[in-house]
Structure formats: structure tokens, C-alpha cells
Amino acid sequence: MHASWAYLSDLQRLRAFSSAAGMGSLSRAGEELRLTQPAISNALGRLEASLGAPLLVRAPDGCSPTPEGAVLLRRTTRFFDQLGGALAHAAPGAQNSQAAPGAQNSQ
């Protein structure tokens, strides 16, 4: 696998984790990301294996982050917020603003 594709897979796995942990549900994360629940579960399993730590406690009524998962959730939430802000400011027609990194344009 080409190295740049590996990063894309890592980003997709982090997004699946962030969504599942934030929503407390693999099924709802799948709906949000337009993926099946098994695809979310697979992404989470691969992420946990690559990091060597469980990130979510799964239960019949949902999931919740482990202590390691809570740390990763805070950081991925901040990362995706900043990435979204950067992409919004880079889009054609976006106004140059002096907003703080990660701030969303209200227009």
C-alpha cells in the first residue's frame, strides 16, 4: 500500500472513532458517515489494534470511551474542528478573516 493511502485510512479510522465515541453509538456513527455499522466496527478494531489499546467500551445500548479513548476523542475533536475551519477558509469564495484557527464562518 502506498504510504499516502495509509494516512487516508488512518484519518478514516480516526473519523469513525470520533463519531462513534462522540455519539455513543456505532450505528449512529455509521449513519452520520454513510457507512455500515460493521464497517465502523472494523475501522475501530483496526485503530485499536494499531494503537495497542482499547478505545471504546461496547455495550448493547451503545459505547463509551475508555480513559485512553477519552484522551483521543478530545484530540480528534479538536483536530477535525481545525481541519474543517481550514478547509472552509481555503474554499473558493471564502472571505479572508482573522478568526482563530478552527473557528467556523457563520455565513
pLDDT per position in the chain (107 positions), as tens? 555 556 668 899 999 999 999 999 999 999 999 999 999 999 999 999 999 999 999 999 999 999 999 999 999 999 999 999 999 999 888 765 545 555 444 43
Q: Which three cell numbers stand for residue 68?
A: 485512553
Give the C-alpha separation, 20 to 11, whole Å: 14
Please name the residue that has the C-alpha cell 472571505: 95
Query: Reduced to 3 states, what is the DSSP secondary structure of residue 25?
Result: coil
Give the C-alpha separation, 18 to 46, whole Å: 14
Q: At what angle do helices 37-51 and 3-23 cross, to 10 degrees?
A: 110
- Residues counted in the chain: 107
Q: How much is the pTM?
A: 0.77
What pLDDT score does 3 carry?
Answer: 55
What pLDDT score does 91 carry?
Answer: 85
